[in-house]
Structure 1
């Protein structure tokens, strides 16, 4: 019977593809599902045989630790070069998009707080 190893809805394509490669290298059969058009299913990575579940969890933990470390090193390198994403950088590269997003946040706040402000 299949076992859900990991939900993939928040994972990057590179992370999932690397994990699938690692599982296949360990001879663990797995498959990936998506939630479908109406988003009623599960975005997930499944282990086909329940007997491989514990081994797959160990591989997952090792892979995620390695992936996290590589991502942190990459972010540190970007930060050291001054290329790390920041609010000022986003504002400089996409001023209209940032201003529209801030206006949308302000509008939502105003609509949300308006009923409470009528008494003042």
Structure 2
């Protein structure tokens, strides 16, 4: 019975391609499911053979360890070079987006505080 190896929700295309290449390199039979038209399911990479699933998980764990180390190195290099994204750089680049997010947070905090305000307003 096929088993889901990787849910493709929020997975960059390069990572999904790397995983497919990894499975091909290890001769592990797999197939992809595509996302649904309405976004209910996002697709995935499935391993067809139960016996090969353990090997696929081990290979995937090694790949994720390597990718994580590479991402940390790239972030550290960007911090040293001064090109890493910070709050102030995002604020300068997209002030409208930051303002909308702050307003949304304040609105949600107000909604959460509303029951308390209404409860103590009746006392």
TM-score, normalised on structure 2?
0.85
Report SS of the residue matched to 1:109: helix
Residue number in structure 1 paired with 2:90? 90
User: TM-score scaled by structure 1?
Assistant: 0.87
Task: Report the Cα distance in structure 1 between the residues aligned to 2:72 and 2:104, rounded to whole angstroms.
Answer: 32
State the Cα deviation string for residues 27-70 of structure 1 (Å, max 9, x = none): 11211224413444463210122221121111111111111111
User: Map of 1:32-111 to 2, 5 A cutoff?
Assistant: 32-41=32-41, 43-111=43-111
User: In the alignment, what sits opposite 1:115?
Assistant: 115
Q: Give the drift of 1:11.
A: 2.4
Q: Which runs of 5+ in 1 are unaligned?
A: none
- For 1:74 and 1:42, locate their aligned partners in 2 and report how far apart those are by CA, in whole Å: 28
Give the distance between the partners of 1:110 and 1:68, measured in 2 at CA.
Answer: 38
Structure 1 pair 40–101 and aligned structure 2 pair: CA distance change class (3 A): closer
* 3-state SS of 2:22 partner: helix
Displacement of 1:25 in angstroms is 1.1
- For 1:24, the equivalent position in structure 2 comes to 24
Which deviates the most, 42-51 or 72-81? 42-51
- Cα 1:79–1:24 change in 2 (3 A) is same
Distance 1:80 1:33 in 2: 40
